[in-house]
Structure 1
Amino acid sequence: MSVNPNEDTEFNDALRKHGIIPPREPTPPSPSPPPSPTLEEMLEDYTPSELKELSEDAPDDEMERLIAAHRRQRIALERNAEKKARFGRVYPIGRDDYTREVTDASKINEEDDDEEKGTGVVCFLYKDGIPQSERTFEHIRALAARYPKTKFVSIVGDKCIPNLPDSRIPMLIIYRKGEIRNQVIAWGSDRERRSEG
């Protein structure tokens, strides 16, 4: 007859007492339940209009006050994010607009920018009818939507730089603080490139 040392019986207790079988392993403590979510965590996924309805249906004044305060805070955060996300698309410009829309715009600091980094401006020079230029324009539009703090502008290449050869198109000129930081010439003309993500 075999004895299961893990069974909880009087016989096993007597055997353990005399050292015949090893002591029973302590049962692991049951995990404690996760903490209850805070009010802020519960309200995280609600829109401001849903929060307004929720505060009106609150069971007491204290809960109504807390929900209303959370709603005001959420609205302030959304407005602040909208201020910072100033651009979000590609702005077409002409030669006369270049200095104001590119060079001068890159000198403008954000309101809360203590480092005075200026604004990043990407100037896209293109020409209609060039396949690489059209493909690159699609990527530039996607980047503008993804990075709304950066200003993206587009201009026909030979209107920006007279006699610009088609072999140098598409071209990206990147400005910050009124200076050219980088230049990418004939991007994608040697092979098709894809933007990931």
Structure 2
Amino acid sequence: MNNDPKIPVQVNPDEDTEWNDILRAHGVIPEKPPSPTQQLEEALDEAVRRQHDNRLENKDLDELDALEDEEDEEFLNFYKQKRMNEIKKLSEKKKFGSVIPISKNEYEDEVTKSSKDTYVIVHLSLQSNLQSRLLSSLLIEIARKFPELKVCEIPAQRCIENYPESNCPTLIIYHNENVLKQYITLTQLGGNSTTLQDIEKVLVDLGAINENDKRLVVNDEDEDLQEFRRLRFAKKSVRQDNKDDEDDDDDFYD
């Protein structure tokens, strides 16, 4: 019979000792968790690696051509081919390019069902309304710049009987036969000062336009030019309102 007394030994599993290494190797104590500093360093290293691996992700063909002397040929050609495939795919989608006027009877086919294959933007309009005229002008530009998007317009009261004029303009965006977003007037977008960039931001947020798309207004227009266009539209609208008032006066005396 073994009468040797057994003396309990306290072990701190977090210590870096040779004895603890032996115990960990035999599964007696658990592996020591990595320190927060080590985890942070590993996360930073991984972020730097991903950034390096994806350094060509958002460059267009011209920018890639300019890197021929700096990048590995095979790596560069991979991104060139990827970019050409994206351009081809986008070209196949470019089938609109202008605002499409629709009737109530066409709404289901031209908007709801059509949104299964693309994003559809609908303007319920009222041409006597300043914001509606502003939105019409902005959507003409959206349709021209992004012909893969389907932009439709229908007078609100022809679409929905007795639709309140105070709800005009109404902007509705469909995809996969569902309404993704709806704006009653332009209050949430900038009111009478709504810009093309405001509309584009909505479309980027909804996934209708890629945030790195070179066609976005933020990439090719400065704020001064946008302000000039806004003021020009406002002056044009004032002249139109004055003309409408004169026409109303003429009608009164007829």
SS at match of 2:193: coil
Instruction: Choose which of 66, 84, 99 in structure 1 pairs with 2:93.
Output: 84
The 5-angstrom pairing of residues 92-171 of structure 1 reads 92-108=101-117, 119-171=118-170
Structure 1 stretches of 4+ with a deviation exceeding 3 A read 76-82, 188-191
The structure where helix makes up a greater share of residues is 2
Alpha-carbon distance in 2 for matches of 1:181, 1:135: 22
Q: Deviations over 1:157-178 (max 9, x none)?
A: 1111111111100111111111
Match of 1:96, SS? helix
Larger Rg: 1
Paired amino acid for 2:194: R
- Give the distance between the partners of 2:141 and 2:166, measured in 1 at CA: 24
**SS in structure 1 at match of 2:97:** coil
Contact 1:171 1:185 in 2 (8 A): yes
Aligned to 2:196, the other structure's residue is in SS state coil
The equivalent of 2:183 in structure 1 is: 184
- Say if 2:90 and 2:148, in contact at 8 Å, map to a contact too: no
Report the CA distance between 1:80 and its aligned residue. 5.6
The answer as to 2:196 corresponding to 1:195 is yes
TM-score, normalised to structure 2, is 0.41
- Structure 2: where are the runs of 5+ without partners? 1-64, 66-84, 198-216, 218-254
CA-atom RMSD in angstroms: 2.6
Distance 1:150 1:156, change over 3 A: same
Answer yes or no: is the 8 Å Cα contact 1:132–1:192 preserved in 2. no
Deviations 1:94-145 (A, max 9, x none): 000000000010113xxxxxxxxxx111111101211111111001111111
Unaligned runs of 5+ in 1: 1-40, 42-75, 109-118
Residues 78, 162 of structure 1: CA spacing in aligned structure 2 closer, same or farther, 3 A cutoff? same
Alignment of 1:5-20 (within 5 A): none
How much does 1:81 deviate?
4.6
State how 1:42-53 maps to structure 2 within 5 Å.
none
Give the TM-score taking structure 1 as reference length.
0.52
Deviation at 1:85, TM superposition (A): 0.8
